[in-house]
A and B are shown apart, each in its own frame.
Chain A
Amino acid sequence: EVHLVESGGGLVQPGGSLRLSCAASDFIFTTYWMAWVRQAPGKGLEWVANINQDGSVQYYVDSVKGRFTISRDNTQNSLYLQMNSLRVEDTALYYCARDHISGWSLDSWGQGTLVTVSS
């Protein structure tokens, strides 16, 4: 069974930074695209970013471009999300997810880590 465990969430002031981590296990990490998806309290799902197998290609939702950076360390089976210039509207539960092997969907999800941006 695939395991994805997020960490690094917390309370941060507007304008601050956080780095989220996702530890992956029980699958061949280097085979898959990976993604971050967030969910604001009581709201729907919002795809944030994804990254290809070797980390050379990344895509972002417009609202985080220039502020967030997705990366991965294949030697550590880990995915990261560096979040800078945080805004109140970035408050959400952030999920790490694995792309389906055939693409175009997310077949495994972690439990999420909560980011709260507030003064």
Chain B
Amino acid sequence: EIVLTQSPGTLSLSPGERATLSCRASQSVGTHLAWYQQRPGQPPRLLIYHASNRATGIPDRFSGSGSGTDFTLTISRLEPEDFAVYYCQRNGNRFGPGTKVDIK
């Protein structure tokens, strides 16, 4: 089974800073990789699908890149509402363990 690893576990940053989140697959998943944001008490929200495509309504400060086994979610300038947990997902099923982005 293909396992996803996310790093770091927690990222402490200030509003306005750049966030770089990593997701690594144990075997290639091509570009079948998605990113989600989950705020406390809310369901997840799709941010990025097919590794680099922004979902409907997602601001352009969110971008995704990568293919094969190494993927990156970048938030160019953190807004207050971006402090949340971020999950990657491969092949439309298994999720990574998540990265929490909290306020420094």
Contact = CB atoms under 8 A, between A and B. Distances in A.
Interface of A: 33, 35, 37, 44-47, 50, 59, 61, 95, 99-100, 102-112
Contacts of A103: 92
Contacts of B71: none
Nearest to B47: A105
Given A44-B87, A104-B32, A59 B49 contact: no
B46 A100 contact: yes
The 5 closest A-B pairs by CB, nearest first: A105-B34, A109-B43, A105-B49, A104-B92, A47-B93
Interface of B: 32-34, 36, 38, 43-46, 49-50, 55-56, 87, 89, 91-98
Contacts, number: 68
B55 A59 contact: no
Given A47-B94, A50-B93, A104-B34, A95 B43 contact: yes
B46 A107 contact: yes
Contact of A105 (B89, B94, B96, B97): B89
Contacts of B98: 44-45
B10 to A, nearest CB: 13
Given A50-B93, A99-B92, A107 B87 contact: no
